[in-house]
């Protein structure tokens, strides 16, 4: 039986080497809401921020009986066009080594790397290859272009795409507006970096691209790219070359009520991948307003306390196909899967 993998799980740390959570980040409405909804006490954060966050995230993954593994995501700092790390504008930084260390000792954790292409060809390639082929090897590489200031359409990133394509490692790229990780000024300009059409270059070079959140807006007044992503999916079907997928992370939130049927109706089921975006809260969706969610199912799901389990079970109840869970196993490189299997065998 194929493993169920949640490819989109976040973590944060303040006191680990190379990690950062800025005051601006902690004051974000999304961050405050996350702590309240996930039941994380401020007192616990003050006494042991890193340990509290780590135990909350890994504990949720360990306690989800239907989810076999989760990809825990690093997040690189912002790097300027001339290859300089821009710490002041980087509000959430999660070092690759920190996530790799967690994956090395937790059987349900897979390593999700993050390398900013503006590190440059020499330094960037060194860090990328260290992640792709190290111990443990990366299951995928994660970008949030809006917050990391990455223009995915820039031809200067071709070397990065060629390395991913050659290694067979997917790029999990945030698409659509970003609200959880602060977007540097000019916010309007940088939110446009979430346009999935900027990923055409990566697809042409042969990268397996997973567009996070189906490029959908969160608030009704925002720019929405779901129709553009759906058009790209049709293009992928017709050209037979593009390896384009979409994860369904952060769908179990009330503002996504109108988004769920649009995703189900416009993105081919075989191109959908399970994600939660945890610790972004997983809420109980109202059955009368959500397509496919019957009251009896809703009652059973409300009783599930584990957020990662709740996310997966609720997505299935809302009409997403069971193949979302096993799809990641077809996209993640075999060396990442087999490393974890060998490491924790027996």
Contact 148, 188 (CB under 8 A): no
CB 265 within 8 A of CB 230: no
**Bond prior to 269 in cis (omega within 30° of 0):** no
**Per-domain boundaries in the chain:** 5-284+324-343
Residue 346 confidence (pLDDT):
58
pTM: 0.97
The two three-digit tokens of residue 143, written as one number: 């970008």
How do the pLDDT tens digits run along the chain, 346 residues long? 689 999 999 999 999 999 999 999 999 888 888 888 888 888 889 999 999 999 999 999 999 999 999 999 999 999 999 999 999 999 999 999 999 999 999 999 999 999 999 999 999 999 999 999 999 999 999 999 999 999 999 999 999 999 999 999 999 999 999 999 999 999 999 999 999 999 999 999 999 999 999 999 999 899 999 999 999 999 999 999 999 999 999 999 999 999 999 999 999 999 999 999 999 999 999 987 787 788 888 899 999 999 999 999 999 999 999 999 999 999 999 999 989 888 887 5
Enter the tokens of residue 61. 């993954």
Distance CA 122, CA 143 (A): 19
Name the residue among 276, 335, 235, 273 with its Cα closest to residue 38: 276
Packing angle, helices 259-266 and 226-239, rounded to 10: 10
The answer to whether 205 and 158 have CB atoms below 8 angstroms apart is yes
**Which two structure tokens, joined as six digits, stand for 175?**
């698409």
The set of residues, in sequence order, having a beta carbon less than 8 Å from that of 338 and lying 6+ positions away, is: none
* Three-state SS sequence of the chain: CCCCEEEEEECCCCCCCCCEECHHHHCCHHHHHHHHHCCCCHHHHHHHHHHHHHHHHHHHHHCCCCCCEEEEECECCCECCCCCECCCCCCEEECHHHHHHHHHHCCCEEEEECCCHHHCHHHHHHHHHHHHHCCCCCCEEEECHHHHCCCCCCHHHHHHHHHHHHHCCCEEEECCCCCCCCCCCCHHHHHHHHCHHHHHHHHHHCCEEEEEHHHCCCCCCCCCCHHHHHHHHHHHHHHCCCEEEEECCCCCCHHHCCHHHHHHHHCCHHHEECCCCECCCCCCCCCCCCCCCCHHHHHHHHCCCCHHHHHHHHHHHCCCCCHHHHHHHHHCCHHHHHHHHHHCCC
* CA angle at 75 for the pair 69 and 80, rounded to the nearest 5°: 155
Please say whether the structural domain 5-284+324-343 has been given the CATH code 2.40.128.520. no
pLDDT of residue 183: 96
The strands making up 272-273's β-sheet, listed across from edge to edge, are 5-10, 69-73, 109-113, 140-143, 171-174, 208-212, 243-247, 272-273
């Amino acid at each position: 039986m194929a493993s169920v993998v949640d490819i989109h799980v976040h973590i944060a740390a303040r006191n680990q080497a190379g990690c950062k959570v800025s005051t601006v980040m902690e004051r974000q409405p999304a961050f405050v809401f996350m702590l309240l909804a996930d039941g994380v006490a401020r007192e616990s954060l003050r006494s042991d921020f890193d340990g509290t966050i780590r135990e909350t995230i890994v504990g949720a993954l360990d306690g989800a009986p239907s989810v076999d593994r989760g990809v825990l995501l690093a997040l690189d700092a912002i790097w300027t066009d001339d290859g300089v790390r821009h710490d002041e504008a980087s509000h959430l930084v999660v070092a690759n080594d920190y996530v790799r260390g967690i994956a090395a000792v937790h059987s349900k954790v897979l390593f999700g790397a993050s390398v900013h292409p503006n590190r440059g060809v020499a330094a960037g390639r060194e860090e990328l290859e260290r992640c792709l082929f190290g111990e443990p090897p990366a299951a995928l590489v994660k970008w949030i272009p809006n917050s990391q200031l990455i223009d995915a359409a820039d031809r200067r990133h071709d070397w990065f795409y060629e390395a991913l394509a050659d290694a067979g490692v997917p790029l999990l790229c945030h698409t659509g507006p970003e609200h959880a990780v602060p977007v540097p000024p000019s916010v309007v300009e940088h939110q446009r970096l979430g346009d999935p059409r900027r990923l055409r270059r990566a697809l042409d070079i042969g990268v397996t691209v997973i567009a996070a959140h189906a490029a959908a807006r969160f608030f009704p007044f925002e720019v929405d790219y779901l129709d553009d992503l759906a058009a790209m999916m049709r293009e992928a079907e017709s050209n037979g070359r593009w390896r384009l997928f979409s994860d369904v992370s952060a769908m179990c939130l009330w503002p996504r009520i109108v988004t769920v049927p649009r995703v189900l109706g416009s993105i081919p089921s075989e191109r959908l991948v399970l994600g939660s975006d945890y610790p972004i809260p997983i809420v109980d969706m109202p059955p009368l307003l959500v397509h496919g969610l019957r009251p009896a199912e809703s009652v059973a799901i409300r009783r599930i306390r584990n957020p990662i389990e709740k996310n997966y079970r609720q997505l299935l109840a809302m009409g997403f196909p069971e193949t979302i869970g096993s799809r990641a196993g077809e996209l993640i490189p075999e060396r990442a899967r087999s490393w974890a299997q060998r490491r924790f065998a027996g």
